[in-house]
Structure 1
């Protein structure tokens, strides 16, 4: 490998891409190119730009080209665990996007394009495990946002415009150098929403995803322990046990037989 250059990455052909299209549980078509060793955005997938979901997570991507604007049907975009240090302004043209995962990259506050605020239908935005020092106050324009992940950054302040988002139910700011009063104002996650269910092996999850799964599993176990278990058999405490009564009757008949 030449000095100073990153991994060359695997070359994805159109045939490979077509074979990677799956139908998700929600009926959408997903192009899943995760864990493929990709270092450069494969232009051949423009032939599949009508998919509703695109998964490019766990690769070596450093840039997303402006041709991402061709994917106008996208509702779900997963780019977590790459090496992204910038995003194109054209990402703001994906008007149907409801889910955007940018976790575990190298994004800074300066590398977040203002056009992100054009994603008016966005409900989930994950920016955890990046290099953010501040949160753009313009994120307050994302009025449909339900879940916002900002964990494992370098944040010292969460703008009021973000904390006051009308539909925000979950704001994860864990492991940031925030003052205590900022942490106390973190909204409590009272509603759990699952859009799709996928079975994956533990080794395939990134650290933050594994932590989330384990936390939700522990909560489920707590709920199970709190749920009262109905008795298997009805209890008739005021009645005589049938078997003991039968035994007494048998003894009485046995005595009568002996006397006769």
Structure 2
């Protein structure tokens, strides 16, 4: 922390409060829910509860994730969205059972994304949306189990090919990034993005009227943009197919 910069004052969480915040999920897992508690510093007393399988610290004013987060070896879900986190600790790579990691809406930059993230071999969902990341480590491509990746609202100018080649990738959200495709990667990236986009093509008859109207409006807007910017790769036309409601398909969790 910079000299003279005061840490935000937050609510102090005792072990008793933390124990009372444990909930049992519908599938029988123990979830420690400390969201919206005004927490500025993650209290070390939580180590007494390090056997929980889900930890929700979202919507607080947390600036730092402690190194001892690695002690939560049973964690399957770690939700840190909507805080003031600037850097993730290298020790986060030790959470070998982690399936879902959400650090969207924070203050992460490229320096705040550790290379050790590539050690999370079982990770299925990764949300980095709403941060200030301009470069991603190519080692994220080592996360072969990833199915959903949120990179929306960052400063990315390109997406590493290693991410686009993830074998199980189904959802990739790169909206509102200043992405500039390099010439040598154009075909490769467009093919991968098209592969993901094609998963969401549905028949018009399966959509309700409001959704059809919305999809047609979005398609019309896309066509206008294509007339302005020369397309990198021509895509085949699909008769009677439209893109479903994009809002419903956003990778970020809606409250």
TM-score (norm 2): 0.72
Note the 1:92-131 alignment, pairs <5 A.
92-131=93-132
> Counterpart of 2:110 in 1: which secondary structure?
coil
* Runs of 4 or more above 6 Å deviation: none
Q: Count residues with an aligned counterpart.
A: 195
Structure 1 position 190, deviation (Å): 3.2
Contact 1:64–1:88 at 8 Å: present in 2 too?
yes
Structure 1 position 26, deviation (Å): 2.1
Structure 1 position 178, deviation (Å): 1.2
Contact 1:124–1:145 at 8 Å: present in 2 too?
yes
Structure 2: unaligned runs, 5 residues or longer: 201-244, 251-255
Computing the radius of gyration from Cα coordinates, the structure with the larger value is 1
Contact 1:32–1:56 at 8 Å: present in 2 too?
yes
| Residues 152 and 44 (structure 1), Cα distance of their counterparts in 2 relative to 1, 3 Å cut | same
| Residues 179 and 90 (structure 1), Cα distance of their counterparts in 2 relative to 1, 3 Å cut | same
Structure 1: unaligned runs, 5 residues or longer: 192-212, 219-260
> Counterpart of 1:148 in 2: which secondary structure?
strand
The superposition leaves residues 143-195 of structure 1 with CA deviations (integer Å, 9 ceiling, x where unpaired) of 0000000000011111111101000101100000113766785322737xxxx
Contact 1:150–1:174 at 8 Å: present in 2 too?
yes
Alignment pair present for 1:34 and 2:35 = yes
The superposition leaves residues 116-157 of structure 1 with CA deviations (integer Å, 9 ceiling, x where unpaired) of 000000000000011111121111100000000000001111
Structure 1 position 214, deviation (Å): 8.7
| Superposition CA RMSD, Å | 2.1
**Which shifted more, 141-150 or 171-180?**
171-180
Per the alignment, residue 240 of structure 2 pairs with none
Mapped to 2, the partners of 1:13 and 1:188 lie a distance apart of 46
Note the 1:67-82 alignment, pairs <5 A.
67-82=68-83
Per the alignment, residue 190 of structure 1 pairs with 199
Per the alignment, residue 21 of structure 1 pairs with 22
| Residues 17 and 183 (structure 1), Cα distance of their counterparts in 2 relative to 1, 3 Å cut | farther
| Residues 142 and 189 (structure 1), Cα distance of their counterparts in 2 relative to 1, 3 Å cut | farther
Mapped to 2, the partners of 1:36 and 1:120 lie a distance apart of 31
Mapped to 2, the partners of 1:4 and 1:179 lie a distance apart of 36
Per the alignment, residue 50 of structure 1 pairs with 51
Contact 1:170–1:189 at 8 Å: present in 2 too?
no
Alignment pair present for 1:91 and 2:92 = yes
The superposition leaves residues 215-257 of structure 1 with CA deviations (integer Å, 9 ceiling, x where unpaired) of 2299xxxxxxxxxxxxxxxxxxxxxxxxxxxxxxxxxxxxxxx
Contact 2:99–2:122 at 8 Å: present in 1 too?
yes
Contact 1:169–1:189 at 8 Å: present in 2 too?
no
| Residues 189 and 153 (structure 1), Cα distance of their counterparts in 2 relative to 1, 3 Å cut | farther
> Counterpart of 1:15 in 2: which secondary structure?
helix
